Each structure stands twice: as structure tokens, then as C-alpha cells.
Amino acid sequence: MDILILEDEQRAGEKLIDTIKSVTSPATITWKRSIVEAIDFLKTTPSLDIIFSDIELLDGNVFMVYDAIQPDCPIIFCTAYNTFYVNAFNTNGIAYLLKPYTIESFNAAWNKFLLLCKTKKEAISTNVFDQLKYLLELEKKQYKSTFSIKKRDGVFLLKVAEIMYFQAQGDFVLAIDKNDNKHIINNSLKHIENEIDKNTFFKINRSEIINRNNIIKYNQHIKNRLKITLNNTETTLYTSNSKASEFKNWLHQ
């Protein structure tokens, strides 16, 4: 398989290469970071299987490339910009991943590529625009931003961004904020997990979900578990053995 990556950020490019390698057998992966490099490469390359494309490159907007040369392969856009999906449709775009994308959203896009393009140059489905728009809306899912907390003197709103971690306590959950205050939420941990952004929060064991923005460091602990140190608290949390590797991958994505 011949794959082209158009990405100007070093870390994003390296992550994308690692992710591609995790879902496909050995492939020829070419990485270009500018408009000029991309056009020069496509002029001399007879065919590709797929392109992974950012929107803004070092020297301009990537659609300058597609205006100059129309690739005959599908394109998966990986970008922080959510306003170009119509432009993406006007090229050979089949998916639109908003950074920071998850491995789940990447796999959905990759599986769409395998479904729509089983062989080189296979025609793209006529309803790609609807599928592309649906995927974008899925990526833009509105996560919960506040929880209503009942106190003796009334109900106040606790911002999700202020929560360091959630901790299951029987039939309810404690939300511990940045000042180490504890707030009772009358929902299950599973219900809360489905309402918050998985790019920001991670379930480190059966009873705790942690906010990445409050992590200072982590250390190796016994039985392959990890010890996590949080900001503004003396509390330390621990991953389960089964979650340790997944946690490290999530934290460094």
C-alpha cells in the first residue's frame, strides 16, 4: 500500500505514522510538510492508495495542492479546523478527523476507506458528502460542561473543567475539584464516563476517572500499575494493571 501524509507538525506526523502502522501491514508511507513538496511529489507519483491530509501546511492551505493536482485516491483529512468539510467533499475526501482525534474515530475513517475503496481507484460512493457531514457532527459531539450539585443552601453548577477526578462511592460518585473539595453526583460512574470528553478524561481503574489537565507526573508502581501525582492535592491515584499501558498511550497522544 502506498500512502501519502500531508502534515506540517512533527509530533502530529509521527503520531499519524504510528497509528497507520497499527492498522495496516507494511506500507510505503511518504510524509510531506509543505504545498511545494506535496505538488512536486504528486507530479511524479503515478498512483497512491490513500492520502492523510492536514488543512494548513507550512506554506499555505492544502487545497492549493488539490487545485493544482487532482489525486485519484481517497483522502482522509486530519485537522484542527472544522470549517472545510465542503472543500473536502469537493476533492476525494471520505472522512474528516478533528484533532485531537481518538483511535476510535481513526478506525472508523480507516474502515470507511476499506469499505469504499477495496482496490485502487475504486469509485467513491455518491453519498460521501452525507457520510462526511455525519462524521464531522459525530466528532463535534457536545460533552457535558457542568454538573448540578445539590447543597443545603441550594443548587450550584460545578464546571467539568474544574474537576480533577471522579471516584465511585457505591450508588453515587464523588467529584473532587481543584481545591480538593468533594461534591456528590447522583449518577453512576459509567453514566458520567459517557457524558464527558474522553480526550480530557480517562478511566484509570474500575472506580476512578482522571482529568489529564491536572496530572503532574506518573511513576511505575508494583504489578505494572502506575502511580499518578495530581496538581494541588496530596492525593495519589493508581491505574489498574490492565489500564496502565492504555493510560500512557492516551496521555501522550
The residues spanned by each domain of the chain are: 2-139, 146-251
Question: Which whole number is the average pLDDT over 243-253?
Answer: 87
Instruction: Kindly report the average pLDDT of the chain as a whole number.
Output: 84
Whether the pLDDT of residue 96 is over 90: the answer is no
C-alpha pair distances (Å), 214 with each of 24, 26, 97, 169, 179: 35, 38, 26, 21, 11
Angle at 33 between CA 30 and CA 36, to 5 degrees: 100
Question: Which whole number is the average pLDDT over 154-167?
Answer: 92
65-69, 71-75, 107-111, 233-237 — which is least confidently predicted?
Answer: 233-237
Q: What is the pLDDT of residue 126?
A: 41
Question: Which whole number is the average pLDDT over 50-55?
Answer: 92
The CATH number of 146-251 is 2.40.50.1020
State which of 107-111, 172-176, 187-191 shows the largest mean pLDDT. 172-176
Q: What is the pLDDT of residue 125?
A: 42
Q: What is the pLDDT of residue 182?
A: 92
What's the CATH class of domain 2-139?
alpha beta
Question: Which whole number is the average pLDDT over 180-190?
Answer: 91
pTM for the full model? Answer: 0.48
pLDDT tens for 4-46 read 999 999 989 999 999 999 888 778 999 999 999 999 999 988 7
What is the rounded CA–CA span in Å between residue 41 and residue 37? 6
Residue in 26, 41, 251, 23 with CA at minimum distance from that of residue 5: 41
Q: What is the pLDDT of residue 84?
A: 59
What is the rounded CA–CA span in Å between residue 54 and residue 23? 20
Within its chain, how far is the Cα of 33 from the centroid?
Answer: 21
